[in-house]
Structures are given as structure tokens and as C-alpha cells.
């Protein structure tokens, strides 16, 4: 897993959300259901003023750290927050320093392992907003995990 530290500009994500935790596999169940709804209802087409068709899964509103509750938002980066209907949630990704992990090949197998490795690491995380980025057309070829760090 390739990693780098970058300075990230702030931006907004609009999508659907769920409150969850990593305890007893709850986040996998909840986020899988979120993905199913997002894809099955073709919600990407209903997000106004999308910056691209890239899909983000944002982890924010942490109760404490990765062991507590947090909100997962699945959606797209937008150019503005105008015309957002009540069915969607918006979340701000703050500007700052992020540790970025690049994953490739068989994502369904490596994403969980990557997050497990992150949770077990001593990374000095901010727990403001972390996110997975699935580039449009990437399918099983690649994605990035970005962690807000101090």
C-alpha cells in the first residue's frame, strides 16, 4: 500500500449518510446498505452541481476516535451547496494535511485490511473528516484513503 502526505484544499461532499460504529462489524453492514441504496437508486444523478462522478465515502462527526460512533456520508464532490434537497446530507472536508493511501487491485479484498492496518497504527489523526475516494471508472482498479492528520 503506497502512502504519501499532502496538503488538501477544502471541499464539500453531498450524499446520503448513516450513523455507525466499527464495533461488532456494524459499520460494514451499515455502509454496505448505504452503497446499495446509492447505487440501486442511482443517486449520483440527483446530486446537483457535481464536480465529477467520483464517489467519496466520508467518515466524520467522530464521537471519540475510530472506536466510537461516527457518521459515514456517501456522495460526490460539489461545486456549491445551492439547490441541495432535504434527502441529501452535506459535509465539509476541511483543508489541511492528509495522509493518503493508494490501493489497487481486488479492492473488495484489500479495503478492509487497509482500514484494519490504519486502526492499529500510531498515526496522529485529527478525526475531523477522513474519506475514501473511488475515481469514476476505476471499478476494481484503484482507490485512495485520506486521513486528516496533525
The model's pLDDT over 42-64, given as tens digits with 9 standing for 90+, comes to: 999 999 999 999 999 999 999 99
pLDDT value at position 29? Answer: 94
| Continuous segment of H or E residues that includes residue 114 | helix 107-120
Q: What is the pTM of this model?
A: 0.91
| Sequence spans of domains, the chain | 2-148
**For range 91-106, the mean pLDDT:** 91
Contact 78, 12 (CB under 8 A): yes
**For range 31-48, the mean pLDDT:** 94
Quick one: CA dihedral 33, 37, 40, 46, positive or negative?
negative
pLDDT value at position 18? Answer: 97
Quote the CA–CA distance of 63 and 142 in Å, as a whole number.
Answer: 30
Contact 20, 31 (CB under 8 A): yes
What is the DSSP code (8-state) at residue 83? T
CATH topology of domain 2-148: Multidrug-efflux Transporter 1 Regulator Bmrr; Chain A (3.20.80)
Amino acid at each position: 500500500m503506497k502512502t504519501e502526505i499532502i496538503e488538501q484544499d477544502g471541499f464539500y461532499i453531498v450524499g446520503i449518510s448513516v450513523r455507525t460504529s466499527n464495533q461488532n462489524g456494524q459499520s460494514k453492514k451499515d455502509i454496505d446498505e448505504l452503497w446499495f441504496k446509492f447505487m440501486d437508486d442511482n443517486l449520483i444523478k440527483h446530486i446537483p452541481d457535481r464536480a465529477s462522478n467520483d464517489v467519496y465515502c466520508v467518515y466524520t462527526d467522530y464521537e471519540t476516535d475510530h472506536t466510537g460512533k461516527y457518521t459515514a456520508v456517501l456522495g460526490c464532490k460539489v461545486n456549491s451547496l445551492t439547490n441541495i434537497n432535504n434527502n441529501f446530507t452535506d459535509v465539509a472536508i476541511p483543508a489541511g494535511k492528509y495522509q493518503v493511501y493508494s490501493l489497487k487491485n481486488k479492492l473488495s479484498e484489500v479495503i478492509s485490511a487497509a482500514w484494519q492496518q490504519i486502526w492499529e497504527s500510531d498515526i496522529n489523526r485529527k478525526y475531523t473528516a477522513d474519506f475514501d475516494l473511488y475515481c469514476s471508472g476505476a471499478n476494481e482498479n484503484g482507490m485512495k484513503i485520506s486521513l486528516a492528520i496533525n
